[in-house]
């Protein structure tokens, strides 16, 4: 029964979770719909409002927090908020699909705590910290200050892996795709 199931992918930045999530959305046998997160950070590259993120001002985000519009939210860095709007999850469930999330570690665990039986929480782990740092640098999407923040946060995030339902080590992308597809398919087809 797919209705009202949630699939969460979490990881430190640079682990490859977004690449894996994008791949899963192309697998025709998986009835998944992507949950678009809200954020106060500026768009990167060619990111589009309403497709990649809902880009909100800090004031708008705080107003929605006060109004109870978020399922989960976090101030990841000073004045840089991320969160999942309740309306987004309801919209996707109403389409008859399971909701697929690409969240930071705190957000992923928050969803799992709220919906323990309905959620498959997968932690994407890089083979090692050096590989993670190299991936972040090669991405070239942040300035050095933002890059350092992500690198500094990674070890604390990696310690949280044990609280997830599954750990997916991303050292070979094709194998990671296969393993992710298998984990998600088994979960969606379970009662």
In the chain, where the domains are located: 6-188
Look at residue 138 in the predicted model and tell me its pLDDT. Answer: 78
Q: Where are the beta strands (DSSP E) in the chain?
A: 6-10, 32-34, 38-39, 54-55, 70-77, 80-85, 98-103, 119-125, 166-169
Look at residue 50 in the predicted model and tell me its pLDDT. Answer: 94
Give the predicted TM-score (pTM) of the model: 0.86
Mean pLDDT across the stretch 180-190? 96
Whole-angstrom CA distances from 4 to 90, 110, 121, 186 are 9, 17, 15, 15
Q: Give tens-digit pLDDT for 66-94.
A: 999 999 999 988 899 999 999 999 999 99
Look at residue 1 in the predicted model and tell me its pLDDT. Answer: 43
CATH number, domain 6-188: 3.40.50.300
Mean pLDDT across the stretch 44-73? 95
Output the average pLDDT for the chain: 90
Please determine, for residue 152, whether its predicted confidence score (pLDDT) is greater than 90. no
Please determine, for residue 3, whether its predicted confidence score (pLDDT) is greater than 80. no
Distance CA 32, CA 10 (A): 16
CB atoms within 10 A of CB 1: 9
Distance CA 173, CA 158 (A): 19
Give the single-character DSSP code of 83.
E
68: left (phi over 0), alpha (psi -120 to 50) or beta: left
* Residues making up the chain, counted from first to last: 191
Please determine, for residue 2, whether its predicted confidence score (pLDDT) is greater than 80. no
């Amino acid at each position: 029964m797919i209705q009202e199931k949630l699939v969460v992918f979490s990881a430190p930045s640079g682990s490859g979770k977004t690449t894996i999530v994008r791949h899963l959305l192309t697998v025709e046998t998986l009835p998944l719909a992507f949950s678009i997160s809200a954020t106060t950070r500026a768009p990167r590259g060619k990111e589009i409002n309403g497709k990649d993120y809902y880009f909100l001002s800090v004031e708008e985000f705080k107003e929605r927090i006060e109004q109870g519009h978020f399922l989960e939210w976090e101030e990841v860095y000073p004045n840089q908020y991320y969160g999942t709007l309740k309306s987004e999850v309801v919209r996707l469930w109403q389409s008859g699909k399971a909701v697929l999330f690409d969240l930071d570690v705190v957000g992923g665990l928050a969803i799992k705590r709220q919906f323990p039986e309905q959620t498959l929480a997968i932690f994407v782990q890089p083979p090692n910290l050096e590989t993670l740092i190299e991936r972040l640098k090669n991405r070239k999407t942040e300035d050095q200050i933002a890059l350092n923040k992500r690198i500094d946060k990674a070890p604390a995030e990696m310690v949280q892996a044990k609280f997830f339902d599954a750990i997916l080590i991303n050292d070979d992308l094709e194998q990671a795709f296969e393993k992710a597809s298998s984990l998600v398919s088994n979960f969606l087809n379970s009662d």
